[in-house]
Structure 1
Amino acid sequence: MTAGLPGALRLARIALTTADPEALATFYREVLGFTHAEAPPVSDFSAVTGLDGARARVVPLRLGDQRLDLVAVTPAGRPYPGDVPGFSPLFQHCAIIVSDMEAAHARLSAHPGWRPISTNGPVRLPASSGGVTAFKFRDPEGHPLEFLAFPPESMPETWRRPGATDPCLGLDHSAISVAETARSAAFYESLGLRVASRSLNRGPEQASLDAVAAPTVEVTGLGFPDGQPPHIELLCYRGDLPRPASDLAVNDVAATRLVVAMTDSDALAAACATHAGRLVSRGVVPRPGGVDALLRDPDGHLVWLTAG
């Protein structure tokens, strides 16, 4: 690693905590088009999470080129805490790019167990908010998800998949709710991400999408050096809204983890030293072939750093 430079390479995968990963995997495969993936590196889960005696059972999945791990933690934590609104610090969703919103929504609608967040089905956002068609919902355990469809004429090259047989193409980003854009952007920039986009989303379409009355949302896209998905988005809802401090434990179902691959162990150790007050793990934890550590961002979201 070049001296003095942050070391984030990419968002290697997103890890959802789940009470029943095998059952939830069935939903993700049958309804969202995910397939089985190779197992992630074996880590000392107890040492990385700081939970004495904790163990993890992982069902690894893939959608296109992106990874999603469904992780059952023993001992188990709390279930997802109801219909957490988008402005809550507990809120974090995964956005799935779809080539055909009607087909993706129809397949979802035919399957039991999920719940809508959006109030009137898929909604086309105005050009000022990206011009995409979007729909938010919750999986059977409560994790928020989003379908995103670009207009054909503005589909990014990354998502042009001629001949694709499944409407769900891949994971575009994970969006996290934050109290202050500048504070959170500074944290992620210190890891090596860069601000790639900004928009101010509001109006009746956004209200229908989020099920939030009269929202005004600062949306900040944070990209990795390779420019490939998935990226991270910061959602900062303006106004005097209730934002209780996050009290999520690592084994709670709502405790989603962003797994960020770092250039090497030195970069990971430097990030941990910079954010020593946010360290959840018992220092930098070695494993065969690499190291891991766990941080909390300024709003309590979990960031798992890995190298090797």
Structure 2
Amino acid sequence: MSGVRAITGFGRTVADLAVTEAFYRDGLDFDRVAPPEPVPDAQAEAMGLTGRQATQLHLQIGGQTVTFLAVEPPGAPYPADPAATDPFFQHLAIPVRAMDAAMARLARFRAAPISRGGAQVLPASSGGVTAYKFRDPDGHPLELIYFPDGSPAERWRDAPGLFLGIDHSAITVTDLDAALAFLTGPLGLTVAQTGLNQGPEQARLDGLDDPEVDVIALEAPTPAPHVELLHYRRPITRQASPAPFDPADCASTRFVFTVVNMDGLLQVLREAGFAPRASADGAAAYCAGPDGHGFLFVNA
């Protein structure tokens, strides 16, 4: 058994922690958990950052934590002209209490849009949510979502403020079967929902012409937040730059999972043909998925 229990956070590599904090704090109501600090030795070792100056900043919203990583010397910059179909795409989906107010707040920070024409109301077949996609100062994508009944999902109903938490993180994958095999095999996640999104609203949301995208939600034993797979049947996923990215590269992102049996997880990952890297003390491990998306595992 792999022993994966829950998503306990997300990671993004950025160029400037101060710029990142200002955007997420002032634009999206994230709170600082602690001042910037060195990455723990075990995690640095697992991510191949030993010997480099690696500093992390934890920001939190609605009980979910995003760890922003800055590395000196820096790795590759975020690729130019990114698209939703790129295999390094990974967004964080943030539920909001009121989309108009959230959009007005965001407009003050000139966030680069992904969506065309503002927030989009998706048809019932695509979940009926109102959604808008954009990018942070480094180029990492984000999504605002407003639920169709006019109120947040149950776990957000008592959350304060306009921006409520992180509902899920979605990754673009080029081979859906390979991605599912990785997530439901070694990681032990379960498929919670499947759908096929298409139409003019989806095109405007994704900033693409005539997309058709499989959307698969997967859950760990502790189900929230969850993983979402985006597999574009059209347009064909382009390979804008090589994958996987090194954790020091600005396009690098990570799911952070807690694990109760690290040795078991490492064994099943190796048996499945992956090459996880673990710290000498077994406290942390890192593995790139089939499309290069990062997965950091830490002991529960």
- Verify same fold: TM over 0.5: yes
Match of 2:198, as an amino acid? Answer: R
Output the CA distance in 2 between the equivalents of 1:34 and 1:184: 30
Match of 1:208, as an amino acid? Answer: R
Corresponding position: 1:302 with 2:294: yes
Match of 1:13 in 2: 9
Corresponding position: 1:34 with 2:30: yes
Moved more, 73-82 or 51-60: 51-60
Output the CA distance in 2 between the equivalents of 1:41 and 1:16: 13
Output the CA distance in 1 between the equivalents of 2:53 and 2:42: 8
Match of 2:265 in 1: 268
Identity of aligned residues (%): 40
Check 1:168–1:21 CA distance in 2 against 1; reply closer, same or farther (3 A cut).
Answer: same
Corresponding position: 1:208 with 2:200: no
CA shift for structure 1 position 134: 0.2
CA shift for structure 1 position 263: 1.7
- The answer as to whether partners of 1:272 and 1:293 remain within 8 angstroms in 2 is no
Match of 2:172 in 1: 177
| Contiguous gaps of at least 5 residues in structure 2 | none
CA shift for structure 1 position 22: 1.9
Match of 1:44 in 2: 42
Corresponding position: 1:195 with 2:191: yes
Q: Find the residue that maps to 1:23 and give its secondary structure.
A: helix
Check 1:286–1:278 CA distance in 2 against 1; reply closer, same or farther (3 A cut).
Answer: closer
Q: Find the residue that maps to 1:171 and give its secondary structure.
A: coil
Return the TM-score normalized by structure 2: 0.92
Return the TM-score normalized by structure 1: 0.89
Q: Find the residue that maps to 1:44 and give its secondary structure.
A: helix
Aligned mate of 2:137, from 113, 135, 140: 140
Output the CA distance in 1 between the equivalents of 2:216 and 2:28: 26
1:117-175 Cα deviation digits (max 9, x unpaired): 1010000000000000000001111111100110236742112126x2x2100011111
Match of 1:248 in 2: 245
1:193-231 Cα deviation digits (max 9, x unpaired): 1111111000000000001100000000011112222x1
Q: Find the residue that maps to 1:118 and give its secondary structure.
A: coil
Check 1:195–1:62 CA distance in 2 against 1; reply closer, same or farther (3 A cut).
Answer: same
Aligned mate of 1:239, from 234, 238, 246: 234
Q: Find the residue that maps to 2:217 and give its secondary structure.
A: strand
Match of 2:162, as an amino acid? Answer: P
Moved more, 166-175 or 266-275: 266-275
Aligned pairs (5 A) from 1:65-104: 65-104=63-102
Q: Which runs of 4+ in 1 moved over 6 A?
A: none
Match of 1:236, as an amino acid? Answer: H
Match of 1:158 in 2: 155
Corresponding position: 1:24 with 2:59: no
Output the CA distance in 1 between the equivalents of 2:100 and 2:250: 30
1:7-44 Cα deviation digits (max 9, x unpaired): 11111110110111122111101110100125798233
Moved more, 58-67 or 262-271: 262-271
Match of 1:128 in 2: 125
